[in-house]
Amino acid sequence: MLSLPTYFLLFPYALFLLGYVFFSFANVISLGKYGARNAVGLMASFIFVCGTAIVVFMTWQSLSAVDWTAVVPLTAIPVQAF
């Protein structure tokens, strides 16, 4: 029977996070380079980092119970979620 390891789903997510980090740096560097190296720019960057941390933490929390090493057959039984 065809099956897939659970951690397989983390690859596209990691790819997205790479892009996210790139664009975050581009934003923060633009702010610093073009005149926002002041309280407003620092505060905006801080709020952005906090927001990112909250989303990542909530994702981690909601997936903490997942066994990433488990191999799930593609024809598994339906589950109740949310």
Partner 1 sequence: MSVSQLFPQNPGEKIEFSLRRHPIVFLGPIFVLLILAGLPFAGKAVIFGVQPIVLPHPMLDIGIRLLASVYYLSIWIFFFSQFTDYYLDIDIVTNDRILDINQKGLFGRSVSELDLTRVQDVHSEIKGIIPTLLNYGTVDVQTAASEENFHFEQVPDPHKVRQRILELAALDRKREAREIMDQPKQAPDAAAAGHDEMKNQGLG
CB of 1 to partner 1, least distance (A): 13
Chain positions contacting partner 1, by CB under 8 A: 4, 6, 9-10, 12-13, 16-17, 20, 23-24, 26-27, 30-32, 34-38, 40-41, 44, 48, 51-52, 55-56, 58-59, 62-63, 66, 72, 74, 76-82
CB of 25 to partner 1, least distance (A): 10
Based on CB atoms, which residue is closest to partner 1, 1 or 82? 82
Give the helix/strand (H/E) hosting 6.
Answer: none
Length of the chain: 82
Compute the distance between CA of residue 55 and CA of residue 42 in angstroms, rounded to an integer: 20
- Token pair, residue 67, equals 């066994």
